[in-house]
Copies of this chain bind each other. A is one copy, B any other.
Amino acid sequence: MKKRKQAAGRLTDLELEIMNVIWELGETTISEVNQILGETSKKHAYTTTATMMKILEKKKFLKSKKKERAHKYTPSVTKDIYEGNAINHIVDNVFEGASAKLVMKLLDDTKLNREELIEIRKTLESRIEDE
C-alpha cells in the first residue's frame, strides 16, 4: 500500500492540456490527440502523447478499449467534476476556504463583459432567494 503524495485527481499542465482535448473530442485515439496537440499548442513525439495518456489511464482519468487498429480512449472523469476539484484546490489552498473572496476578485476582473455580469446577477438573485 503505497501512499499517494499528489492529491488524487490533480493534473499537471500537460496532462490537463491532453484532457482538455479529449473532453472536447469524446472517444478518441492517441494519434488524434497527438495531432491536435501539434496543431493547437506544441508538437510532441507520438510516444510522448502515448505515455501521457497511459499515465492518465493509470490515474483513472481515462479508460481505453481495444477497437480496430488503435485503442480508443474515453474520459472517466467529467470535465465538470474536474473543474470542481480544481476550484476546491484553489479555494482551500490559496483563499483559505473563502470562496467569496475568489468571487470578488473575479468580479474585479475586467475581462467580464456586461452580458456576463448580468447573467451572473441573474444566477445570484435566484441563489439568494433560495436561502
Contacts and interface: CB of A to CB of B under 8 A. Distances in A.
A43 to B, nearest CB: 16
A127 B103 contact: no
Interface of A: 7, 13, 16-17, 20, 82-84, 86-87, 90, 93-97, 99-100, 102-109, 111-114, 116-121, 123-125, 127-128, 131
Count of this chain's copies in the oligomeric assembly: 2
Contacts of A108: 123, 127
6 contacts: A7-B13, A16-B94, A20-B93, A100-B112, A103-B112, A121-B121
B99 A111 contact: yes
Contact of A106 (B20, B99, B111): B99
A120 to B, nearest CB: 5
Contacts of A87: 90, 102, 105-106, 109
A120 B107 contact: yes
Contacts of A117: 124, 127-128, 131
